[in-house]
Amino acid sequence: MKIHSNLRLSPFLKCLFAGLFLSTSLNGELPPAPKHPQPSRITAEAWRSARQEIRNASLEVKIDYLLDRAEIEDIITTYAYSVDTRNWPLHGEIFKESFQQRRGEEYRDTDNQQRLKGLDKFFQRFTSTQHLGFPLMIQIEKDTAYAVASLSARHYDESGDPLDNTLLFGQYEIWLERTSEGWKINKLAQVNRTRIHTSEAEFPEDNSPRLLSK
């Protein structure tokens, strides 16, 4: 493949390629990055041990594990679906009534109902959104679980101008607790997140999103 030495990448493409080529090791440690924290790591040994334990478990334990994992995967996809459909009662169902959410460098106690009101107000500025979420890692330990999920979101501004749209990508860290009503999120964080406003990207004049949308 021929690569032109005078190729000029826009800030949008630089961030996109950085995300595409970012790789991490299961048993490696990354240096701290306060502005873009990385999700917690599981070592290769712990991963191997957990899989071996499931393989050696009884049929009943294996079935329970698969049911728990399926429910947690459903919570992750429901998170994205409920936001895009603005179904806040459904969104609230996947959280405990009081949980912790990362704000800056610390976790703060959050009231589920108050958060739903805040989300409803925030998303009124967008005509539509597209959130894609799928599990990257799930660890289950009795009545608690930890998951890392993808974060990929597009927010389409109410102005209708493509240059006002926003792209986000990164990961969610999700801690869950088994309750009498099933698994619920009791702690949530966005990590390794990059936010790109379309107006920050540079496009050739004839390929501007504003022109392509007409």
What span, in angstroms and rounded, lies between the C-alpha atoms of 92 and 78? 10
Asked if the structure places residue 6 within a domain, the reply is no
User: What angle, rounded to 10 degrees, do the helices at 59-84 and 44-55 form?
Assistant: 120
Do the domain assignments include residue 31?
no
211 or 102: which carries more pLDDT confidence? 102
Would you say residue 46 lies in a domain?
yes
Residue 26 lies in a domain: no
CB 134 within 8 A of CB 76: yes
In total, how many domains does the chain have? Answer: 1
Radius of gyration of the chain (CA): 20
Q: Whole-model pTM?
A: 0.73
Say what the pLDDT of residue 165 is: 87
Taking the C-alpha atoms of residue 4 and residue 46, their distance in angstroms, rounded to an integer, is 44
CATH of the domain at 101: 3.10.450.50
pLDDT of 77-96, one tens digit each?
Answer: 999 999 999 999 999 999 99
> What pLDDT, on a 0 to 100 scale, did the predictor assign at position 9?
39
* Residue 27 maps to a domain: no
What is the model's pLDDT at position 159?
A: 81
Highest mean pLDDT among 60-64, 155-159, 198-202: 60-64
Asked if the model's pLDDT at residue 17 lies above 70, the reply is no
Q: CA–CA separation, 99 vs 187, rounded Å?
A: 6
29 domain residue, yes or no: no
The mean-pLDDT minimum among 19-28, 55-64, 105-114, 204-213 falls in: 19-28
Which range of residues forms the domain containing residue 148? 37-212
pLDDT of residue 200: 61
In-domain check, residue 174? yes
Query: In this structure, is residue 89 part of a structural domain?
Result: yes
**H/E element, 75:** helix 59-84
